[in-house]
Structure 1
Amino acid sequence: MAEIVFDDSTRSWLIRTAATSYALRLTDDDAPSHVYWGPALTADQLADVLNRTEERWDSFNDPNEGLDELAADGGTRYWTPALQVRFADGTRALEWRYLGHDIDGMSLRVHFRDRHYPLRITLGYHVPAGTDVIERWTELAHDGTDGPIEIIRADSATWVAPIRPDYRISHVTGGWAAESQLLREPVPHGETTFGSRRGITSHHANPWVMLDDGEATERHGEVYSAALAWSGSWRITTTRSSTGRLTVTGGFGQDGVVPRLAPGDTLTTPVFAGLYTDGGFGAASRAWHAYTLDHVLPHPGELRPVLYNSWEATGFDVTEAGQRALAEMAAALGVELFVMDDGWFGARSGDHAGLGDWQVNRDKFPGGLEPLVREVHRLGMKFGLWVEPEMVNPDSDLYRAHPDWVLHHPHRTRSELRRQLVLNFARPDVAEWAFGTLDSLVGEHGIDFLKWDMNRPFSEAGWPGAVDPDTLWVEHTRSVYAIMDRLRARHPGLRIEACSGGGGRIDLGVLARTDQVWTSDNTDALDRLVIQHGYGQVYPARAMSAWVTDDPNFVTRRSTPLRFRFHVAMAGVLGIGGDIVKWPEEDLVHAREQIALYKDIRPIVQHGRLHRLVPPATDGLSALQYVAADGGRAVVFVFRQAAHFHTRERPLRLDGLDPAARYRDEDTGKVWHGASLLAHGLFPGLPDGDFASAVIRLTKV
């Protein structure tokens, strides 16, 4: 039974989730200390593992080091700090004084104050219903009247792993068009920091980690994981000592950025959620997916529509006639959402001008957008539009009118990337302009969907004249969130896709106010197998936008069969991004067939449980499987990347099925025993040659 219990005799709290337990306590000097995280324990059982403060071995070694619930800087604490502050008189050391706690259902708030200075600290915990995820955050409040408090570092939580003989970390790395490449490697001794200093989540890392003892597999083993719900600059630091202790601390911010709390101010950090499972990496991923579907996404029960996007067909050369032709063709294929990309506004004939001037270009659309929107709706599709509201071109009416609205420092060059600058959304006037512009755009034109892009990171992140310029690093992201939230409240039918030059803004924070994310600008099907594999470690297929585009690929120039491209994209939210007006008839016929197939399996893909059967590699076979929530249907995707040294096909063992049930192949009619599919497997029947693929549909009989 899920519950939160306080034991006054030991001054400890026990948080019981659906299948796990977590515990903390107060030390003799009131500091919060970690006790336990792992398989479920009752309060009586927890008494056996309650640790007491041990005496120091000598002046250099502390047996309690690394057990802080939120590692704070001060005194003789030398562990990686999660909380560092500097008071008005220059004092930095924090001393805890416990004030009390509140338990409200599955939420816990533990309150502290510094013993002398006017800083209140609240540690927050919440367990969403039906999950083993523990959401954690920190609140800092200046409750005095004198001088600001500098916040050098304010992480959301410190997660303490149990001592194991060895540790391995899983995370993703990459770059533009090469996001989410999964790495599993030993945890180094000392401090290792993952993060982004770019003002966005970034293509180069993603704010989650998984830890195991080096023995976990897809199906077996203990896995401890944590994911940060934040879309700006962030850092996650692992610290491993020679004594065997391992912690993970994470939150927003970066070195050198030091916002200040003025009297009366409160700073609340984003959620840094943690999850334990004993079912291996697969169980960890399925638990994160279920949590995201049930407690993060705004409309999790919806089926995301099949999308068409005009970018690769037209680039900036957008005209009403050209968009109408694409829309007519898209509707004939079975597309449900038509999205017009860049080039429809201002003086936008390339990436050099027009950003910030979100008025319809009347040379391209003499009657405005209304005729095109009406036609798209008449064809039975919803209408979407690409926007990049956080950006401005120097060659724009907006910049000429408000050059002070961008991030900048006095006497420093305003660096341009993609010929654009970043608007300072932390400024209330800029934020209000952005909301008003988007609100009018959506409301006046009947826009159903926005592709919200951001094609460059921060630079010269200054705010001349602001009382505390460093707050912009946090407030810009919070402003983006607030604008999205206001737009959704004002237009309940509006749906949003998050994009940042591809997968540069994917995290639990942005997923809480968007419906899907653009996974990568790289739509090459072979590369996408790797990108989607890394993405799916934490995030669900229900939010993973995946396109079928032209051949050869726009980014890699690699050629792959249309069937292969469709099957890879059908493992997420299917989209089409090619110049379909120029597709030969045989490709259009195949596309209609594959879109119809996707609509049949879409409920399983978008709302089912993912089982990674064989991970992608540079050659050989890879496979994944989705099982419907009720277990009644399953779909298996099988891919052969390349065929080296011809070998006989081997059986593919499935997962997540009922061993006592029987399953019918919906295409061949063959009936299988669930037990044999789990123990022995089936032969996928892939066609010969490189880039072969198959989709196998199974129904419980």
Structure 2
Amino acid sequence: MQARTWHLGDAHQSLVLASLGDCLPEAVYWGPALPERESYQSLAAAAVTDVTGGMVDRNAPISLNPEASQTFPGQSGLTGRDADGNPLTPRFRFSNETTSEHGLTLVYADTDLELSLVLDLSMDPETSLLQMQTHLESAHKITVDWLAAPVLPVPAHMGEMIEYSGRWCAEFLTRRLPFAPGARVRDNRTGRTDHAHFPALIVCSSQTSNTSGEAYAYHYGWSGGHRMVAEELADGRRQVQFGHASASMKKNHVFRTAPLFATYSGTGFNGAAVRFQKYVRNKLVSGARMPRPVHYNCWEAVYFDHKLDELKSIASRAADLGAERFVLDDGWFGQRDDDTSSLGDWVVDKRKYPDGLKPLIDHVKSLGLQFGIWFEPEMINEDSDLFRAHSEWVLGSADQPKGRQQLVLDMSRDDVRDYLYDCIAKVLAENDIGYIKWDHNRVLPVVDAAQTEGLYALIDRLRADFPHVEIESCASGGGRVDFGILKRTHRVWLSDSNDALERQRIQHDASLFLPASVTGSHVGPRVSHTSGRTINAKFRAWTAAQRHMGFEMDPRELSDEEAEVLKTVTGWWKANRDWMATADILRLDSADPALFAEQQLAEDGDRFVVFAALVRPSNQILQYPLRLTGLDRNALYRITLINRADATGLSRGSPFLKNNDLEASGQYLMSHGLTLPWRFPETIWVLEAKRI
């Protein structure tokens, strides 16, 4: 039987789809790029598996939407019910296709049930990132409990998965697990991306590292609750599914998943990470201010206690440190003296700002800083004028528990979105504001895709009418970080933790998907407000300099020595931020688990910087040589340890980099690596290099 076949590919990878008998297509190959003369018909034929005792007479394929009607033994790609509550078990057959240079749209239909399934797949030619989406249409109103984005199988030699978990102030925790018979299901029903459920998965082998081996990486670009299924069937085949959280779509005629982004890498985790990073900074985020301005946020300096003269003084001190943007955080509106009141009353508090925000903004602008402001539009307090006027706008039941003393507005309502737009637009129109920190400080009481769709609609409207205003996505820190929100914003706040030790790990693991240009990282106070830990200024400053740099502390607490450290590191960051904004973050493999090390490599490959942070004492006395990656093996590089003056007196030897610049080949640097001076834990070595 002749199969329909399709191919998406480039120099890095190939995805081959095949459809037998006009059934839904399956991926018969996904991996390294295939030669042009490859016969896709042969691959389709070779993909047919054997049957034996205890099995049905033909194995149902892991199609792009596995069908229960085909006796598929695992999680099907669609679970739904008709108007009478009867299960839907469609048998989709080919209807039509549309192809382009880098993508294809496949339409399949079940004429009896009057259902149409549309599968959109494309491969971005610049980043080699697959983008896949499923669209279901019904002539009748149906209930859909589960709809998967296009489903891809997992090769048998990829026996492990890396998933994300976490919590407030400890986001982007990774867990490496083996595949095993049965399904690994992550069903995030919090209504936002969530600290504990970053919507991503990496499939790999036990030998895969940052710099070598194979990896398949997935990210579901959706800011609401999501569901992930990583399943091994009894016959040994494996599949990965992503979609909206269970029961979040409800009853309708039209259903659409978010885009699923995926890629194959033959060069370790970094090969996949670079593609995701490039896609975000080159294709997804638009309108960000360049060069990226040094950020100052006043939250951990004043909290709700806003006094105009103190804020002016803080802004002046921040400017002296090198800040270029001042963000006024929570507490400027309604009668907001703590977190129990005023959410929803987006008018300037005349007690704190009798002449409005203009006097503060004028002062900030006179210092050469851009002014930004905090909103939490999706939330409401019971003690607010808005609640007293419109308690019916609250999402969920009247007796629900509050979170951070607040309730949630129903963003699916046109009147709610119109009200919020009018409030925010008025503040933006009446003041010279270039930046919004958009917060979201509690989980939702119900799981509903319409809530996220309403949020998108509101942000899209504001972006269209105020294109000069940048938006940062914050949700108690990293509770809403995904490609769906990044399509509409310019920056994410990875965590409410400004503890630089925690930040090292959080930034390190987030870099598998996020570039430095959108990742906010701030120098926190001497004593961390979230961990109670005291951390030296150099470690805090260099940690922030690894991403979009900023400050979030009371600058009045700084000693002269600490202030000088911040000025020096900020000056270095400003001198390098242009090329670093487009650099690839490459995680370095280290034999020392106490070390977080990364290499930021310029687009042209002619320069790089290495950050090597020792977060706790090593088990051995000396550091192992640090091997680099991604270099031209035959080129020579000159390497400078730019903070060699930080070497402690207990470093009694004379390693070459301690007093000299090193010239070495890319081959040496990647094979042997750099021998660094001994140092205390909670310190960072920073090395600059240029191709000679």
668-677 vs 635-644, greater mean Cα deviation: 668-677
Q: What is the RMSD of the two structures over their aligned residues, measured on CA atoms?
A: 2.1
C-alpha distance in 2, partners of 1:301/1:551? Answer: 29
Q: After TM superposition, list the pairs within 5 Å mapping 1:153-168 onto structure 2.
A: 153-164=146-157, 167-168=159-160
Counterpart contact for 1:73–1:92, Cα < 8 Å: no
Quickly say closer, same or farther: Cα 1:59–1:432, change in 2 above 3 A. farther
Following superposition, the deviation at residue 625 of structure 1 comes to 1.0
- The residue type equivalent to 1:135 in the other structure is Q
- 1:370 deviation in Å? 1.3
CA distance in 1, matches of 2:638, 2:500: 29
SS in 2 for 1:44: coil
Structure 2 residue matching 1:48: 3-state secondary structure: helix
Q: 1:154 is matched by which residue type in structure 2?
A: L
Letter aligned with residue 105 of structure 1: E
Residue number among 179, 182, 197 corresponding to 2:189 in the alignment: 197
Distance (Å, rounded) in 2 between the aligned partners of 1:282 and 1:44: 28
Secondary structure of the 2:183 match is strand
Q: In structure 2, how many angstroms separate the alpha carbons of the residues matched to 1:646 and 1:332?
A: 42
**Distance (whole Å) between structure 1 residues aligned to residue 584 and residue 209 of structure 2:** 17
What letter matches 1:582 in structure 2?
Answer: E
| Equivalent-residue separation in structure 1 for 2:621 and 2:183 (angstroms) | 46
Which stretch has the larger CA shift, 14-23 or 501-510?
Answer: 14-23
Q: Deviations over 1:190-235 (max 9, x none)?
A: 0111231000000012111010122212211111111100000101
Shift in Å, 1:29: 5.3
| Residue 601 (structure 1) shift | 2.6
| Match of residue 601 from structure 1 | 576
- Is contact 1:18–1:131 with CA below 8 Å preserved after alignment? no
Q: How many Å apart are 1:514 and its aligned residue?
A: 1.0
Name 1:423's counterpart in structure 2: 409
In structure 2, the CA distance between the partners of 1:258 and 1:337, relative to structure 1 (3 Å rule), is closer
Structure 1's 656 and 91: CA in aligned 2 closer, same or farther, altered over 3 A?
Answer: closer
Q: 2:28 aligns with which of 5, 19, 35?
A: 35
Q: Return the alpha-carbon distance in structure 2 between the equivalents of residues 12 and 286 of structure 1.
A: 29
Partner of 2:677: 685
Whole-angstrom CA distance in 1 between matches of 2:456 and 2:627: 43
Matched residue pairs, number?
671
Range moving further from structure 2, 663-672 or 378-387:
663-672
1:667-686 CA-partner distances (Å, limit 9, x unpaired) = 47724123332232223335
Q: Cα deviations across residues 118-167 of structure 1 (Å, max 9, x unaligned)?
A: 2111011111222221111011112x3xx411112112121212222x51
Structure 2 counterpart of 1:83, from 75, 78, 89: 78
- Corresponding residue SS for 1:295: helix
Q: Which of 531, 554, 564 in structure 2 is aligned with 1:579?
A: 554
Residue 257 of structure 2 is matched in structure 1 by 269
Which of 176, 188, 205 does residue 184 from structure 1 map onto?
176
Q: Are residues 656 and 29 of structure 1, via their aligned partners in 2, closer, same or farther at CA, if it must alter by over 3 Å?
A: closer
1:492 aligns with 2:486: no
Deviations 1:473-532 (A, max 9, x none): 112111212222222221121111101001000111111111110000111111111111
Q: Is the 8 A contact 2:5 2:41 kept in 1?
A: no
For residues 533-548 of structure 1, what are the structure 2 equivalents within 5 Å?
533-548=508-523
Distance (whole Å) between structure 2 residues aligned to residue 138 and residue 652 of structure 1: 44
C-alpha distance in 1, partners of 2:180/2:579?
Answer: 39
TM-score after normalising by structure 2: 0.93
Q: TM-score, normalised by structure 1?
A: 0.92
Q: Which moved more, 1:94-103 or 1:299-308?
A: 299-308
- Of stretches 338-347 and 663-672 in structure 1, the one that deviates more from structure 2 is 663-672
Q: 1:633: which partner in 2?
A: 607
Distance 1:325 1:590 in 2: 20
Q: Pick from 512, 520, 536: which aligns with 2:495?
A: 520
Contact map agreement 2:249 2:448 (CA 8 A) in 1: no
Q: Look up the SS of the partner of 1:276 in the other structure.
A: strand
CA shift, 1:621, in A, is 2.8
Structure 1, residues 602-648: CA drift from partner, whole Å, max 9, x if none? Answer: 2343321122124698x733321111111121111111223356723
| 2:575 equivalent to 1:620 | no
Q: Residue 514 of structure 1 aligns to which amino acid in structure 2?
A: T
Partner of 1:68: 63
Choose from 365, 370, 374 the match for 1:386.
374
Match of 2:123 in 1: 127
Is 1:696 the counterpart of 2:687? The answer is yes
Q: Which residue number corresponds to residue 40 of structure 2?
A: 46
Determine if the alignment matches structure 1 residue 657 to structure 2 residue 631.
yes
Shift of residue 365, structure 1, vs aligned partner: 0.8
Q: CA deviation at 1:184?
A: 1.4
2:653 is equivalent to residue 673 of structure 1: no
Distance (whole Å) between structure 2 residues aligned to residue 139 and residue 312 of structure 1: 45
Structure 2: distance between partners of 1:294 and 1:685: 37
Instruction: Quote how far apart the aligned CAs of 1:53 are.
Output: 5.2
- Match 1:559 to one of 534, 555, 559: 534
Q: Distance in 1 between matches of 2:448 and 2:248?
A: 8
- Kept in 1: contact 2:281–2:518 (CA 8 A): no
Identify if the C-alpha distance between structure 1 residues 83 and 300 changes in structure 2 by more than 3 Å, giving closer, same or farther. farther
Question: Which piece of structure 1 moves more, 70-79 or 324-333?
Answer: 70-79
Distance in 2 between residues matched to 1:595 and 1:294, nearest whole Å: 25
Higher mean C-alpha deviation, range 417-426 or range 13-22: 13-22
Distance change >3 Å, CA 590–CA 91, structure 1 → 2: closer
- Segment of structure 1 superposing worse, 109-118 or 334-343: 109-118
Other-structure match for 1:478: 453
Instruction: Look up the match of 1:237.
Output: 229
Q: Is the 8 A contact 2:476 2:496 kept in 1?
A: yes
3-state DSSP class of the match of 1:74? helix
Structure 2 match to 1:136: 132
Deviation at 1:405, TM superposition (A): 0.4
Q: Which runs of 5+ in 1 are unaligned?
A: 1-7, 462-471
Per the TM alignment, residue 63 of structure 1 is displaced from its structure 2 partner at its CA by: 5.6
Name the counterpart of 2:280.
292
Alignment of 1:15 onto 2:8:
yes
CA deviation after TM superposition for structure 1 residue 595, in Å: 0.5
1:259 is aligned to 2:250: yes
Say which SS state the counterpart of residue 585 (structure 2) adopts: strand
1:323 aligns with 2:320: no
Percent of aligned positions with the same letter in both sequences?
30
Give how far 1:62 is off: 6.2
Instruction: Show CA shifts across 1:527-556 (max 9, x none).
Output: 111111221111212211111111211111
The one of 415, 427, 431 equivalent to 1:445 is 431
- Single out whichever of 282-291 and 344-353 deviates more from structure 2: 282-291
Partner Cα distance (2:48, 2:586) in 1:
43
- Which residue is equivalent to 2:242? 250
> Structure 1's 63 and 184: CA in aligned 2 closer, same or farther, altered over 3 A?
farther
Compute the displacement of 1:243 (Å). 2.5
